[in-house]
Chain A
């Protein structure tokens, strides 16, 4: 099957690999490897690329911009041959993945008993990959539905125990692979009407896994759902009988990417913003030449319907929280005119948070869009039908994801979906409202430009800061925000949901989730603060382990209001002082003076503090917080 079809073909992959191998500087070698990982590749060159990649990563140690991810694979079949593709896909999704494979078939022992090798690896993620042979149900073919359901419940309960062990013993986020049906049909189309056929049981088992995973905060590698299930290289009986491989080496690049994107999504590295070209991307034809009435869009022509279907898909992405932007070579009035005046447009001008149409080069325009939206270009996906524009962006802004687009617009949506840029580990009401918030932000910005005095502007926003703890409801979104915030993030500590939950439920900890509501919109969760006791500080002092905030509420005095909430809670607990910590990264210089501005006084760094970190003290009894115009509201 065609795989990684969104990645462009390299004219001379092996030649580029050889050139990269001769590169002495490991940082340059890593750059070359990351670039090659973003080209279409079969399993042979993927394996070669992995070997080279590992030399660069080994020499560089922690000195890369990639996010480290330790992934343990526990399986009932052979998976060793899949790890190179996982590591290569990792760097294409900004991860430095290291892998550990537990001996095949030993997953129960690893989780229920002691597995010193696994413990030493300290997995952040544990993939549990089972297969139909392993999960054989001992149920007669004529069994009644209730008997089948009982057998499935027994297996799912066992799985949940294993998940709990993975969490409690290793502190790892579990990723459960769904079962791929491999037994050929016994009854043909009647198959699913017999509850105990292998096929029907696999389907029911997968449905039960999905619902249990939702309850237990386990992530899925849903092979049974993904188009990959149709590949003959998955569940190939020759490879199974030869080497107990469920996934043929042929399919390793795609499998590796599917797993890497789940890990990247959990660590907040998925893309956030979809930047779209207009002519021949969102509609057929060139609006500047053909006029609005000459565009192919909507019912009546197959091409017009294909473009409309793509617009509808994009509009659904916006509804799940993907921010939309337009970057087009056009006159602005002409381009916007098509949005307001074409009756068949599924996308509205108000769906687009940043609308840039001019004749400048698109790389510069993408930088401008990033600035307008307060997002990094590394959160962008750029969709353009023009191969030349795609090449320019890949060269000028290699951090932007630029999928190859098929010639046929009817396949645009499927291609964008296949590329898996927007994988996530949670979906909340805040996500659904995000695109609308970005549009509201643009309005707020224009109001700020009109207001002559800042205090007046801030008062006019009617802001309320709503505080909750980090409970089960808030946990997914709080973890998501924690893992993707880079700029306004004092310590850039990353936690999985499991780690986060442990941290905030400690009796001495204070965990705060803050939402900001103003007259334009509910901005959703915009800040997470965690304070905890730390052995380096006194018993009546709380270290602010984590303080992060979404940049879209910068300049609104939220920091001061948040400190007021935190200080009041601390005071009630008998805490004497809050200790602020700032740990510098290449991205968080924005907050270097955060604690100073809030009135904290410098404190000496304790032994064992991370390099360059600064520490600050705030006496909660005697000090007051800076002025702000935000009302406070506490919710249980």
Chain B
């Protein structure tokens, strides 16, 4: 899966979780940019992304997921291994 493909799929996950088809993502997107992205929605996002990509984030990785760029790089890394 290429990075743009991951972005495209992750965008769908975000739109699904936040129920907002207008969401667009880039590497710098953070919780402050998306309405409703609170700590609870964050867990839902992570679990939905795990479901979508067939990966499991490790606790050490979870701590790094502060913006979308980190999300994508962690997913890409897991998909490579």
Question: Interface of A with B (CB < 8 Å)?
Answer: 14, 42-45, 47-48, 51, 78, 80-81, 238-239, 241-243, 245, 248-250
A44 close to B62 (CB less than 8 A): no
Tell me, in angstroms, the Cα distance from A549 to B46 when the chains sit together.
53
Q: Is the interface of B mostly helix, strand, loop or mixed?
A: helix
Closest Cβ neighbor of B50 among chain A residues: A250
Tell me, in angstroms, the Cα distance from A44 to B16 when the chains sit together.
7
Question: Interface of B with A (CB < 8 Å)?
Answer: 16-17, 19, 39-40, 43-44, 46-48, 51, 56-59, 62
A residues near B46, Cβ cutoff 8 Å: 242
B43 close to A44 (CB less than 8 A): no
Closest chain B CB from A102 CB (angstroms): 16
Would you mind naming 10 contact pairs between A and B with Cβ atoms under 8 Å apart? A44-B51, A47-B19, A51-B19, A81-B40, A239-B47, A245-B43, A249-B43, A249-B47, A250-B47, A250-B51
Tell me, in angstroms, the Cα distance from A80 to B41 when the chains sit together.
10
Q: Point out the residue from A45, A242, A249 that lies within 8 Å of B59, measured CB to CB.
A: A242
B residues near A81, Cβ cutoff 8 Å: 40, 43-44
A242 close to B43 (CB less than 8 A): yes
Tell me, in angstroms, the Cα distance from A14 to B17 when the chains sit together.
12
Question: Provided the pairs A42-B51, A48-B16, A48-B19 are in contact, do residues A239 and B43 lie with their beta carbons within 8 angstroms?
Answer: yes
B residues near A249, Cβ cutoff 8 Å: 43-44, 47-48
A242 close to B62 (CB less than 8 A): yes
Closest Cβ neighbor of A81 among chain B residues: B40
Tell me, in angstroms, the Cα distance from A557 to B39 when the chains sit together.
63
Closest Cβ neighbor of A250 among chain B residues: B47
B17 close to A243 (CB less than 8 A): no
Tell me, in angstroms, the Cα distance from A80 to B47 when the chains sit together.
15
Closest chain B CB from A88 CB (angstroms): 14
Tell me, in angstroms, the Cα distance from A260 to B63 when the chains sit together.
34
A47 close to B59 (CB less than 8 A): no
Closest Cβ neighbor of A52 among chain B residues: B19
Question: Provided the pairs A43-B47, A249-B47 are in contact, do residues A80 and B40 lie with their beta carbons within 8 angstroms?
Answer: yes
Closest Cβ neighbor of B48 among chain A residues: A44
Question: Provided the pairs A238-B59, A243-B39 are in contact, do residues A248 and B19 lie with their beta carbons within 8 angstroms?
Answer: no
A243 close to B43 (CB less than 8 A): yes
Tell me, in angstroms, the Cα distance from A572 to B19 when the chains sit together.
65
13 other A-B residue contacts (CB within 8 Å) besides A44-B51, A238-B57, A239-B47: A14-B16, A43-B44, A43-B47, A43-B48, A44-B17, A45-B16, A47-B19, A51-B19, A80-B40, A243-B40, A245-B43, A249-B44, A250-B51
Closest Cβ neighbor of B39 among chain A residues: A243
Query: 8 shortest A-B CB distances, which residue pairs?
Result: A249-B47, A243-B43, A44-B16, A44-B48, A48-B19, A249-B44, A80-B40, A242-B62
A residues near B40, Cβ cutoff 8 Å: 78, 80-81, 243
A residues near B17, Cβ cutoff 8 Å: 44, 47
A47 close to B44 (CB less than 8 A): yes
Closest chain B CB from A266 CB (angstroms): 28
Tell me, in angstroms, the Cα distance from A58 to B59 when the chains sit together.
39
Closest chain A CB from B81 CB (angstroms): 18
Tell me, in angstroms, the Cα distance from A39 to B58 when the chains sit together.
32
Tell me, in angstroms, the Cα distance from A45 to B56 when the chains sit together.
20
B44 close to A44 (CB less than 8 A): yes
A residues near B47, Cβ cutoff 8 Å: 43, 239, 248-250
Closest Cβ neighbor of B42 among chain A residues: A243
Closest Cβ neighbor of A18 among chain B residues: B21
Tell me, in angstroms, the Cα distance from A81 to B47 when the chains sit together.
12
Tell me, in angstroms, the Cα distance from A45 to B44 when the chains sit together.
12
The residue among B47, B48, B58, B62 with the most chain A CB atoms within 10 A of its own CB is B47
The residue among A80, A239, A242 with the most chain B CB atoms within 10 A of its own CB is A242
B residues near A238, Cβ cutoff 8 Å: 56-59, 62
B residues near A43, Cβ cutoff 8 Å: 44, 47-48
Closest Cβ neighbor of A249 among chain B residues: B47
Tell me, in angstroms, the Cα distance from A45 to B51 when the chains sit together.
13
Closest Cβ neighbor of A21 among chain B residues: B19
A residues near B43, Cβ cutoff 8 Å: 81, 239, 242-243, 245, 249
Tell me, in angstroms, the Cα distance from A239 to B51 when the chains sit together.
14
Tell me, in angstroms, the Cα distance from A385 to B44 when the chains sit together.
36
Closest chain B CB from A504 CB (angstroms): 43
Tell me, in angstroms, the Cα distance from A51 to B51 when the chains sit together.
21
Tell me, in angstroms, the Cα distance from A281 to B11 when the chains sit together.
45
A residues near B39, Cβ cutoff 8 Å: 243
The residue among A48, A238, A250 with the most chain B CB atoms within 10 A of its own CB is A238
Tell me, in angstroms, the Cα distance from A245 to B19 when the chains sit together.
23
Closest Cβ neighbor of B21 among chain A residues: A18
Tell me, in angstroms, the Cα distance from A194 to B48 when the chains sit together.
40
B residues near A78, Cβ cutoff 8 Å: 40
Closest Cβ neighbor of B47 among chain A residues: A249
Closest chain A CB from B62 CB (angstroms): 6
A241 close to B59 (CB less than 8 A): yes
Closest chain B CB from A253 CB (angstroms): 12
Tell me, in angstroms, the Cα distance from A238 to B43 when the chains sit together.
11
Tell me, in angstroms, the Cα distance from A78 to B51 when the chains sit together.
21
Closest chain A CB from B55 CB (angstroms): 12
The residue among A14, A47, A249 with the most chain B CB atoms within 10 A of its own CB is A249
Tell me, in angstroms, the Cα distance from A268 to B16 when the chains sit together.
35
Closest chain A CB from B63 CB (angstroms): 9
A residues near B44, Cβ cutoff 8 Å: 43-44, 47, 81, 249
Closest Cβ neighbor of A50 among chain B residues: B19
Closest chain B CB from A101 CB (angstroms): 11
Tell me, in angstroms, the Cα distance from A42 to B44 when the chains sit together.
12
Closest chain A CB from B39 CB (angstroms): 7
Tell me, in angstroms, the Cα distance from A298 to B28 when the chains sit together.
66
Closest Cβ neighbor of A17 among chain B residues: B19
Closest chain B CB from A77 CB (angstroms): 13
Tell me, in angstroms, the Cα distance from A424 to B41 when the chains sit together.
34
